[in-house]
């Protein structure tokens, strides 16, 4: 069993900014680093000079999607101009409550953006890998984009209710009825595929 | 008007406390498993429960979302069985609405809201038994609940009330002492930096007495901080032991 770590509480002064840099769970004020969470103190030494001081909690608190993060979402409705999705995972951590996101028509593909049809790229119920491009403004939700080869639909069900198999970057086929459906398919890296 | 003696000749209050003595405090964190953070506190006979959800996406009107920080949404309610006479409306009247707004202002000063833009943090305070210092107990319970939820805070927020009996300042007023009609000062303090998050005064207080009463309230808040700190550290040890680290 590891020796008991040092516990800190919000408002506790940890050290000065000359001895270390502030990491997560801390804030700086008047040249000193204070803790902002109730948890265990962690000191990591960086190669570039000062060690990084951070406070970690055992139970992970809510993670918010940040710009540039790859998220897993489920399409809930589509429109001729955009698709509305529920963001379920950020990276590999599940979210406790879902966030709403929007994939605009021009952000679905990188090439031939004006020839895109949303109905031929996503359908309600698809699981999609997307990247956050904006936190949105006062009126809109998170803005997502699938304009990369590794982003797009990963799981889709055909009208027969069976999970479809991807055959190209724009088509998926149902294994039972052999009908082909159009989707913007993600090229998942081989190491993430489970057989 | 013959008011009941707040301070006896020997210097004891009606419930047997010394003027600067706080009531007995019992607190627990992590009372509910479903909420992100929760806490329960008893200060004498006043019992308060606080539950925190968040930070999560804005519910309701998205236009109220702030682009650079989180919105702190507070609700303060007193249970119908909480007072000596059954309350008609647990919340929705003007007084609880004002206390909810004060809670919001207090916690916006303490929570680092810049870390979670365009999201919402909900704090619900329920007073189960009201025996003086209701708002203060609510603030203390909410501080523990916010810490339990893992929301980054600048410091603890410790709140305490103070009053005056002739020339002696009293700390942590109970319900009969509040009803006596004297001045009542409520102070919410961030102990490490000594910054005041909220200062409220009811009835009248002479300007020359303000310093002493404020000092008494400050001392009481710092004593409260020591108690809450013990509770939080105990909880940290408990959680680490449970998770087998």
Listing DSSP states for chain B in one string gives --PPPSB-TTS-BTTS--TTPPPPEEEEE---SSSSEEEEEEETTEEEEEEEEEEEEPPS-GGG--SSSPEEEEEEEE-TTSSSS--S-SS-SHHHHHHHHHHHHHHHHHB-GGGSTTEEEEEEEEEEE-SS-HHHHHHHHHHHHHHHTT--BSS--EEEEEEEETTEEEES--HHHHHT---EEEEEEETTTTEEEEEEEES---HHHHHHHHHHHHHHHHHHHHHHHHHHHHHHHHHHHHTT-
- A115 and A177 fall within a common domain: yes
Which residue's structure tokens are 């501080």? B143
Do B119 and A58 lie within an 8 Å CB cutoff?
no
Residues of B in contact with A61 (CB under 8 A): 36, 149-151
Report how far residue A46's alpha carbon sits from residue A53's, in angstroms, rounded to the nearest whole number.
Answer: 10
Domain that holds residue A23: 7-56
Pick the residue of B27, B39, B53, B56 with the most A CBs within 10 A to test the interface with A by mutation: B56
What's the CATH number where A46 sits? 2.40.50.100
In the predicted structure, residue B2 carries a pLDDT above the cut 50: no
Residue A62 in any domain: the answer is no
Measured between CB atoms, does A88 come within 8 Å of chain B?
Answer: no
Average pLDDT over residues B211-215: 94
Chain B residues touching A141 at Cβ < 8 A: 62
Which SS3 state, helix, strand or coil, does residue A34 take? strand
In a domain, A121, yes or no: yes
Q: Which residue of B has its CA nearest to A39?
A: B236
- Name the closest residue on chain A to residue B112, using Cα atoms: A36
Q: Residue B119 contacts by C-beta under 8 Å, 6 or more apart in sequence?
A: A64, B54, B55, B56, B57, B58, B65, B70, B71
B91, B82 Cβ separation under 8 angstroms: no
pTM of the model: 0.81
A74 and A18 share a domain?
no
CA distance A59 to A62: 10
- Give the DSSP letter string of B115-141: GSTTEEEEEEEEEEE-SS-HHHHHHHH
Say what percent of chain B tops pLDDT 70. Answer: 97
Mutation target among B236, B243, B244 for the A interface, most CBs of A within 10 A = B236
Helix, strand, or coil (residue A130): strand
How confident is the model over A38-67, as a mean pLDDT? 80
Our CA-based measurement puts residue B218 at a distance from the nearest CA of chain A, in whole angstroms, of 17
The alpha carbon of residue B116 and the mean position of all alpha carbons in its chain are separated, in whole angstroms, by 24
Q: Give the residue numbers spanning the domain of B219.
A: 21-244
The count of residues in chain A is 195
> Which pLDDT score is estimated for B238?
87
Residues A94 and A173 in one domain: yes
The domain spanning residue B220 has which CATH number?
Answer: 3.30.230.70
| Contact criterion met (CB < 8 Å) for B153 and A2 | no
- Considering the domain architecture, whether residues A87 and A25 belong to the same structural domain is answered as no
pLDDT of residue B46: 96
Q: Tell me the percentage of chain A whose pLDDT exceeds 90.
A: 34
Round to whole Å and give the CA distance between B42 and B125.
Answer: 13
Establish if A1 belongs to a structural domain. no
Chain A residues closer than 8 Å to B154 by CB: 10-11, 27, 34, 36
- What does the alpha-carbon distance between residue B7 and residue B165 come to, in Å, rounded to a whole number? 7
Are A120 and A86 part of one and the same domain?
Answer: yes
Place A97 in a pLDDT band, splitting at 50, 70 and 90: confident
| A165 in the same domain as A85 | yes
**Can you tell me the distance from the alpha carbon of B204 to that of B173, in angstroms, rounded to the nearest whole number?**
16
Q: Is the Cβ pair B117, A135 closer than 8 Å?
A: yes
The CA distances from residue A116 to A7, A76, A121, in Å, are: 54, 19, 8
- ipTM for the predicted complex comes to 0.78
Query: Which pLDDT score, from 0 to 100, does residue B145 have?
Result: 96
Tokens 């919105």 belong to which residue? B71
Collect all residues of chain A within an 8 Å Cβ-Cβ radius of residue B226. Answer: none
Residue in chain B nearest A10 by alpha carbon = B155
Domain count, chain B: 1
CA angle B221, B32, B133 (to 5 degrees): 30
Contact A61 B149 (CB under 8 A): yes
Q: How confident is the model at residue A1 (pLDDT cuts 50, 70, 90)?
A: very low
Mind telling me how many Å the CA of B194 is from chain A's nearest CA? 11
Q: Out of A47-56, B11-20, B95-104, pick the least confident.
A: A47-56
Same domain, A52 and A92: no
Beta partners for residue B201, in sequence order: B185
Residue (of B152, B178, B149) closest to B165 by Cα position:
B178
In a domain, A138, yes or no: yes
Task: Tell whether the model's pLDDT for residue B61 goes beyond 80.
Answer: no
Q: How many domains does chain A have?
A: 2
Q: Is B155's CB within 8 Å of A10's CB?
A: yes
Nearest-CA distance from A93 to chain B in Å? 15
Q: Nearest-CA residue of chain A relative to B155?
A: A11
Please tell me which residue of chain B has the smallest CA distance to A63: B55
Question: How far, rounded to the nearest angstrom, does the alpha carbon of residue B35 sit from its chain's CA centroid?
Answer: 19
What's the residue count for chain B?
Answer: 245
Burial, B168: exposed, middle or buried (Cβ in 10 Å; 0-12, 13-18, 19+)?
middle
> Residue B150 is nearest to which of A4, A11, A59, comparing CB atoms?
A59
């Amino acid at each position: 069993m590891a020796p008991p770590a040092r516990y800190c509480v919000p408002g506790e002064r940890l050290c000065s900014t000359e001895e270390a840099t502030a990491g997560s769970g801390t804030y700086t004020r008047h040249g000193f680093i204070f803790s902002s969470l109730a948890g265990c103190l962690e000191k990591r030494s960086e190669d570039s000079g000062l060690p990084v001081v951070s406070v970690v909690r055992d139970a992970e608190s809510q993670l918010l999607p940040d710009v540039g993060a790859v998220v897993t979402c489920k399409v809930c409705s589509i429109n001729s101009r955009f698709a509305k999705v529920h963001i379920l995972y950020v990276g590999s951590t599940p979210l406790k409550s879902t966030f709403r996101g929007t994939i605009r028509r021009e952000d679905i593909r990188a090439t031939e953006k004006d020839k895109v049809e949303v109905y031929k790229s996503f359908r309600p119920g698809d699981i999609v890998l997307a990247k956050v491009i904006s936190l949105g403004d006062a009126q809109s939700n998170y803005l997502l984009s699938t304009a990369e080869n590794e982003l797009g639909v990963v799981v889709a069900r055909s009208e027969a209710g069976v999970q479809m198999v991807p055959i190209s970057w724009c088509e998926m086929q149902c294994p039972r009825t052999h009908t082909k459906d159009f989707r913007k398919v993600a090229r998942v890296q081989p190491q993430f595929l489970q057989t | 008007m013959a008011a009941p003696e707040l301070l006896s000749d020997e210097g004891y209050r009606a419930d047997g406390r010394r003027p600067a003595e706080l009531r007995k405090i019992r607190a627990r964190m992590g009372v509910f498993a479903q909420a992100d953070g929760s806490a329960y506190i008893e200060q004498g006979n006043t019992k308060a429960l606080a539950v925190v959800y968040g930070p999560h996406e804005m519910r309701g009107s998205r236009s109220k979302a702030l682009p650079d920080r989180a919105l702190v949404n507070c609700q303060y309610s007193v249970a119908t069985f909480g007072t000596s006479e059954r309350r008609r409306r647990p919340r929705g009247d003007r007084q609880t609405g004002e206390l909810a707004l004060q809670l919001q202002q207090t916690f916006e000063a303490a929570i680092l809201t810049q870390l979670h833009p365009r999201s919402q943090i909900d704090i619900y305070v329920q007073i189960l038994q009201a025996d003086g210092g209701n708002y203060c107990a609510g603030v203390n319970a909410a501080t523990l609940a916010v810490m339990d939820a893992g929301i980054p805070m600048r410091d603890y927020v410790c709140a305490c009330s103070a009053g005056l009996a002739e020339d002696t300042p009293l700390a942590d007023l109970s319900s009969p002492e509040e009803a006596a009609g004297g001045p009542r000062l409520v102070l919410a303090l961030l102990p490490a930096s000594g910054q005041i998050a909220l200062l409220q005064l009811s009835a009248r207080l002479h300007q020359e007495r303000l310093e002493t009463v404020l000092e008494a309230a400050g001392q009481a808040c710092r004593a409260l901080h020591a108690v809450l700190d013990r509770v939080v550290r105990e909880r940290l040890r408990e959680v680490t032991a449970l998770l087998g680290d």
